[in-house]
Amino acid sequence: MRSPAERRVFTTEPKALARLYLWLGLVAVVTGTLLSLLMRIHRTWPDLAMPLHGVIKPEDYLALVTMHGTLMVFFVLTVVPQSAFPNLVLPAQIGTRGMALPRLNAAAFWITTTSLLVLLAAFFVPEGAPIAGWTSYPPLSALAGAGPGQATGMDLWLISITLFCLAAVMGSVSILATILTRHAPGMTFGRLPLTVWSWLVSSGLTVIAFTALFIAAGLLLSDRHFGTSFFLPSGLVVNGIPQAAGSGTPMLWLHLFWFFGHPEVYIVVLPGMGLASSILANFTRRPVPGYTMMAVSTLLIGVLGLGVWGHHIFVSGMNPYAGTAFGLTTMAIAIPSSAEVLTWLAMVFRGRLRVNTPLLFVLGFVSFFIAGGLTGPILAQPALDAYLHNTFFVVGHFHLVMSMAGVFSIFAGIYYWYPLLTGRRMNEGLGQIHFWVSLIAAYGTFYPMYLAGLAGEPRHYAQLAGPVESFARLIPVERGITWSAFLLAAAQLVFLFNVFWSARAKVALAGANPWRATTLEWSPEEHPTIENGPYGYGAGMGEREDFRPQWERKKPF
């Protein structure tokens, strides 16, 4: 017999797993944010001695970059929208209880936790964390002698990523099986909420993309320890020492990594796109116009997303005709994305807005998705990318379109679904402060990075350096970025306080369906029958109200 504590920890109950995933995401996001602040401190005051550490050395800076990127991309932006949220609401949204393959689903959480612990351990081994960036290009990542942190630290990074890939695929198989086999009678494909469409596509992408990364990481570990040379050619001389002959090429890693890396961006942002549509429908009290078009766009983004990875390596010496082809596919994927954005803008402008924090964070999500997304078609042109590649222009681009849009959609989800976790709503005033300060500070942090990139400032530089003419102009910009980053981090303290403050027993209960929503996670019954499509909002829709939930029988005529 298991003790109650054991049952609580080794649970297969999806809502309990969602809570555990949220805690894990919190640990990762706090660590990742602190690392980014250290990076900003070093860039602005390079000679400042840090307590317990001293001055941040260039290799320390690269370790911070690597660990910040890895923590945020995998353990925050993937784990929360692709693991925590589906466990929280997916079964309910399709009218079932529990996930298919519950043990596989629960095991995925524990493997993800192990993966996080292995990654964080890299800080505490000799030479510290790896310095090759979150993309870990070989030979830098293949040869222990290529730099500090590239021995044990790099091994731990690779083991962590291998475990994470395994867990991500397991979790996604469970999600796919749940959607395809467990949906309640009446929950047809045409009645799936757009969040479920998103998880259907993002889980399919996860199975494909993370398998590629799993293989790449395995091959790299093999190159490092078993004398293979998948990624290593002949004739290398590292630190004056000739290396063993090989027959591989780093290009193989570049292709495998970005075959994972680009779909990963959609895995991060598709659930947020689905949630944005749902919340906009709710808080404007209107249906999603062109529901079918939105579902098809989601599918198209998933399919096309598998064929655009080459735009990350335009300047790698890849065949220039391939560059042209990848530029074309990338422009193609911008079309369904633009279609979704236009739909959101139309919804915002036509509807009667109920201004609550979930809506505000969705507006923020849309705002960042546009601010970052619009520079995508610029970077998709090989000729222009040949100047902008690996400059701060790219750093600004992906922090806006993936990170800030991703994080704001996560906040929207937490504010929106908080009553499912605690029975209460989060404090609205604190939520609005959190939103406005975060919005302004995030723009202050990431928008100026476009200017730094235009000035020719490359990423991964421990110190500001670049063409002399544009260098001087960047110093005040860099300072502004740092102060904005501090403000952005400080605003999250308001959020953390709100999360715990609003859960107190004193706070009034929110009731069964506090947002007057139509989707099934708000249904008071455990086994509702599904009668309607997902977005029955509008005057005269319900019997007494302006909405008709998916579980409510139609008005008799």
Q: Among residue numbers 272 through 301, which ones bind other proteins (CB under 8 A)?
A: 286, 289-290, 293
The answer to whether 146 touches 140, Cβ cutoff 8 Å, is: yes
Q: Which of residues 427-456 bind other proteins (CB under 8 A)?
A: 451, 454-456
Our CB check for other proteins shows the closer of 41 and 177 to be 41
For other proteins, the binding residue among 240, 292, 506, 526 (CB under 8 A) is 240
Structure-block tokens of residue 290: 């062109």
* CA-derived radius of gyration, the chain: 24
- Judged by CB under 8 A, the residue of 186, 466, 480, 514 near other proteins is 466
Query: How far is the C-alpha of 348 from the C-alpha of 118, rounded, in Å?
Result: 44
Which residue is associated with the tokens 């209107």? 286
315 binds other proteins (CB under 8 A): yes
Task: Tell me: does residue 235 bind other proteins (CB under 8 A).
Answer: yes
# binding residues, other proteins (CB under 8 A): 100
Smallest distance from other proteins to CB 27, Å: 26
**Does 473 participate in binding other proteins (rule CB under 8 A)?**
yes
Query: Should residue 468 be labelled a site residue for other proteins when binding is judged by CB under 8 A?
Result: yes
Smallest gap from Cβ 125 to other proteins, in A, equals 17
Part in contact with other proteins (CB under 8 A); list of ranges 172-180, 382-390, 519-527, 547-555: 382-390
418: nearest Cα among 533, 327, 503, 298: 503
Interface with other proteins in residues 138-177 (CB under 8 A): 138-140, 143, 146-148
DSSP category for residue 57: P
Q: How far is residue 484 CA from its own chain's centroid? A: 21
Contacts (Cβ under 8 Å, ≥6 apart) of 190? 291, 292, 533
Give the x/- contact pattern for other proteins in 42-61, rule: CB under 8 A: ---------------xxx--
Candidates 88, 40, 154; CA nearest to 399 is: 40
Nearer to other proteins, 205 or 452 (CB): 452
CB 41 within 8 A of CB 103: no
CA distance 483 to 61: 18
Tell me which stretch binds other proteins (CB under 8 A): 180-188, 257-265, 316-324, 406-414. 316-324
Is position 375 an interface residue for other proteins (rule: CB under 8 A)? yes
Q: Does 555 bind other proteins (CB under 8 A)?
A: no
Query: Among residues 81 and 453, whose Cβ is nearest to other proteins?
Result: 453
Binder of other proteins out of 27, 236, 420, 510 (CB under 8 A): 236
Q: Please state the φ and ψ torsions of residue 513, each to the nearest 5 degrees.
A: -135, 70
Rounded to whole angstroms, how far apart are CA atoms 343 and 352? 15
Tokens for 549?
């939930």
Q: What angle do CA 29, 137, 223 make, to 5 degrees?
A: 110
Q: Is residue 323 a contact point for other proteins (CB under 8 A)?
A: yes
Among 251, 437, 507, 510, binds other proteins (CB under 8 A): 251
Helix (H, G, I), strand (E, B) or coil at 391: strand
Cβ partners under 8 Å of residue 91, min gap 6:
14, 97, 98, 99, 178, 182
The nearest distance, CB 268 to other proteins, in angstroms, is 21
Which residues, 494 to 533, sit near other proteins by CB under 8 A?
none
Joined tokens for residue 146: 């290529």
**Taking CB under 8 A as the criterion, which residues in 59-98 touch other proteins?**
59, 62, 65
Choose the stretch contacting other proteins; rule: CB under 8 A; options: 81-89, 206-214, 389-397, 500-508. Answer: 389-397
Give backbone dihedrals phi and psi of 547, rounded to 5 degrees, phi first: -155, 155
Site for other proteins in 326-355 (CB under 8 A): 327-328, 331, 334-335, 338-339, 341-343, 345-346, 348-353, 355
Adjacent-strand bridge partners of 391: 458
Stretch 534-553 residues interacting with other proteins (CB under 8 A): 538-540
How far apart (Å, rounded) are the C-alpha atoms in residues 324 and 93? 42
Judged by CB, which is closer to other proteins: 113, or 141?
A: 141
Q: Count CB neighbours of 127 within 10 A.
A: 18
Smallest distance from the beta carbon of 251 to other proteins, in angstroms?
A: 6
Q: Based on CB atoms, which residue is closest to other proteins, 316 or 532?
A: 316
